Amino acid sequence: MPHVIKEKKTLYEILGVSPNASDSEIKTAYQNLSKNLQSAKNDTNRDDVDLKLKVINVAFNTLSITRTRDAYDARLAGLNVPKNTTTPPLSLIPLEMDEASSLKNEAMSLKTEAISLKAESVSLRADVIALKVERGYSGYQSTESVLEKSSRLLSPVKKAFAIVGSLVAIGLVIQLIFMLMINRQATTLVGNTSKAEEKVMLQDYYQRTGVRVASKAEMDLLEAASHREEQEQNKIREQERAKQQEDRKYQQFVEDGKQEGEIVSQNLQLAEEKARYEEDQKKRQAQEDQRRQDELEAERIQREKDSWQNTLTN
């Protein structure tokens, strides 16, 4: 599968707003993005849409709170690169990965940034409280005892907030590590499942063909070669069937020609016999007519003789 070069975006770019956008503009952009993703959600892209919703939720939750947005803006300002710098900052280095993997990594990166921002906000809150306490006790800094007392009061507060912030950050980091471990285990499980399926396919191929192969790629090559050979054999069989059909047609044509020749010969023979018969009939009729004519002529001559004899006798 080809990789996609994808540039890591800022939270403002994810929501499609400028860094100077107001809270209402950020909220409107977030609502529009959520509505569009929900309307485009279906069974085929459910996981992808859920992941994108998580990403824009992180972006909105970070930018909708003033202190986390200020901390994030300060973080972005610290990542600006001078014009003469050759190495880009981490957030602008293009990463080569699939789109789904990029979104996951981006979500994890945003979550890490959110964790860092939360820790920074806790630390800032501790600093603010410390400043308030210091200002509250600024009127009493005339003596050294007051300074020592305020120092003793401020140190536990700072330490407490620092410990709380550290614990929160550690807990979130542990949660992130746990999620990464689960993701890695799921990937390993999928890989093992694929290997098991491949073994089953190879065993089935061995039972069908009696040929033992080492990998699915080799099996695919053998099946492709077998398929081509089968196609060639089918083509040869088709050619043989076509030739046999042509031979049968030719034999049928020859047989039909013979039968027609015999019929014509019989008809000619019958015609000749009929002609001979008619010729014989004509000859016999002519002979019969000639015989009758001869008899009539003989009778006439006899009558004339008799007539002359009678005349002479009288």
pLDDT at 234: 93
How many angstroms separate the CA atoms of 245 and 252, rounded? 10
pLDDT tens-digit series, residues 181-197: 777 765 655 455 577 88
CATH number at residue 80: 1.10.287.110
Which amino acid, residue 304? E
For residue 294, being part of any structural domain is answered with no
Helix (H, G, I), strand (E, B) or coil at 96: strand
pLDDT at 180: 79
Q: Which residues of 106-135 are buried (b: 16+ CB within 10 A; e: fewer)?
A: bbebbbebbbbbbbbbbbbebeeebeeeee
φ/ψ of 7, rounded to 5, equals -90, 135
For residue 295, being part of any structural domain is answered with no
Give the count of domains, the chain.
1
The mean per-residue pLDDT over the stretch 36-52 comes to: 86
How many angstroms separate the CA atoms of 178 and 233, rounded? 58
Question: Distances from the Cα of 186 to the Cαs of 190, 200, 233, in angstroms?
Answer: 6, 21, 46
Helix (H, G, I), strand (E, B) or coil at 231: helix
pLDDT at 98: 45
How many angstroms separate the CA atoms of 202 and 272, rounded? 82
In 3-state terms, the chain is what percent helix, strand and coil (to 5)?
A: 85, 0, 15
pLDDT at 96: 34
Residue 161 CB coordination number (10 Å): 19
Whether residue 159 is predicted with pLDDT greater than 60 in this model: the reply is yes
What whole-number percentage of the chain has pLDDT above 70? 68
For residue 28, being part of any structural domain is answered with yes
- Here the tokens at position 60 are 């909105």
For residue 117, being part of any structural domain is answered with yes
Highest averaged pLDDT of the listed ranges 46-55, 75-84, 154-163 = 46-55
- Here the tokens at position 203 are 């065993």
Whether residue 311 is predicted with pLDDT greater than 80 in this model: the reply is yes
Whether residue 175 is predicted with pLDDT greater than 90 in this model: the reply is no
For residue 153, being part of any structural domain is answered with yes
For residue 296, being part of any structural domain is answered with no
As to burial, measured by CB atoms within 10 angstroms (0-12 exposed, 13-18 middle, 19+ buried), residue 34 is middle
For residue 275, being part of any structural domain is answered with no
How many angstroms separate the CA atoms of 122 and 203, rounded? 60
How many angstroms separate the CA atoms of 102 and 303, rounded? 145
For residue 301, being part of any structural domain is answered with no
Q: Is the entire prediction scored with pTM above 0.85?
A: no
Radius of gyration of the chain measured on its C-alpha atoms: 57
How many angstroms separate the CA atoms of 307 and 314, rounded? 11
Contact 183, 175 (CB under 8 A): no
How many angstroms separate the CA atoms of 234 and 250, rounded? 24
Whether residue 198 is predicted with pLDDT greater than 90 in this model: the reply is no
pLDDT tens-digit series, residues 55-110: 999 999 999 999 999 989 988 887 553 433 333 333 332 333 344 455 555 556 66
φ/ψ of 97, rounded to 5, equals -165, 170
pLDDT tens-digit series, residues 235-272: 999 999 999 999 999 989 888 888 888 888 788 888 88
- What is the residue range of 170's domain? 4-208
Instruction: Report the chain's mean pLDDT, rounded to a whole number.
Output: 76
How many angstroms separate the CA atoms of 306 and 314, rounded? 12
Quick one: which of 191, 183, 43 has its CA closest to 101?
183
pLDDT at 3: 36
